Amino acid sequence: MTILSTLAANAAMFACEIDFNDAEAHAGTSFVPFLGFMVFLIGLVFCFIGIVKINDAKKQWYLFYDNRDKDDRKQPKYAKEKKTGIIFVVIGVVCMIASFIIMR
């Protein structure tokens, strides 16, 4: 019982120290975490798209597959798609690292 009363007293003391009505005290300080999160999210999306492009350049993903639909994966357009996927993954990793630098 004493532990609960001690926790309640500490919580009440902590709640009294925070002024919830003073919104202007913290105005303008919240855009940096938001910016960091958005850059991380953009980096994550770029990485996902890059991985999908690389995977699509290596394999054929058809819902209804027939051997007559088989493509030669050595064509230049698939090499370009793989290179684009690698570039997207690199951009995504750079964005994710930059988001942690922004949050610092």
Give the number of domains in the chain.
1
Per-residue pLDDT at 40: 95
pLDDT by residue (tens digit) across 76-90?
778 888 899 999 999
- Position 7, amino acid: L
Which of the two residues, 67 and 38, has the higher pLDDT score? 38
- Spatial neighbors of 25 by CB under 8 A, at least 6 apart, are 19
CB 88 within 8 A of CB 47: yes
Let me know if residue 18 belongs to a domain.
no
Let me know if residue 46 belongs to a domain.
yes
- Is the pTM higher than 0.75? The answer reads no
Let me know if residue 4 belongs to a domain.
no
Let me know if residue 91 belongs to a domain.
yes
Q: H or E element: which one contains 41?
A: helix 31-58
Let me know if residue 81 belongs to a domain.
yes
Domain enclosing residue 37, as ranges: 29-103
